[in-house]
């Protein structure tokens, strides 16, 4: 829970997070679990910054959510090395 916002991770969401971390580690530099941490931090930013507006809501982190929030960064190697 982030400031009153419930976060639910679906199985495909967890799988997508792991796939993206592995892909960026493979393409750029393998920094292990720190990459996983960075990817999670990136898609939780929006929830954190708008938590006061979403108080009491539940946000489901599924594969589509992860792809929408982080996919474009993971796909672009020139951005990935600086952002992820």
Cα–Cα distance measured from residue 6 to residue 8, given in angstroms and rounded to the nearest whole number: 7
Q: Which CATH architecture has domain 6-83?
A: Orthogonal Bundle (1.10)
How far lies 56's CA from each of 7, 35, 42, 52, 63, in Å?
10, 30, 22, 9, 23
Which contacts qualify for 18-22: CB closer than 8 Å, 24 or more apart? 20/66, 20/70, 20/71, 20/74
Spatial CA neighbour of 42 closest among 22, 60, 65, 8: 65
What token pair was written down for 16?
A: 């997508």
Place 79 in a pLDDT band, splitting at 50, 70 and 90. Answer: low
Place 82 in a pLDDT band, splitting at 50, 70 and 90. Answer: low
Q: Identify the residue with better confidence: 3 or 70.
A: 70
pTM above threshold 0.85 = no
**Contact between 61 and 12 (Cβ < 8 Å):** no
């Amino acid at each position: 829970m982030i400031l009153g916002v419930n976060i639910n991770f679906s199985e495909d969401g967890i799988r997508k997070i792991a796939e993206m971390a592995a892909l960026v580690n493979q393409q750029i530099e393998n920094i292990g679990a720190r990459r996983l941490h960075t990817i999670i931090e990136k898609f939780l930013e929006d929830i954190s910054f708008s938590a006061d507006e979403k108080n009491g809501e539940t946000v489901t982190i599924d594969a589509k959510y992860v792809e929408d929030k982080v996919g474009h960064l993971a796909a672009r190697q020139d951005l990935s090395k600086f952002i992820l």
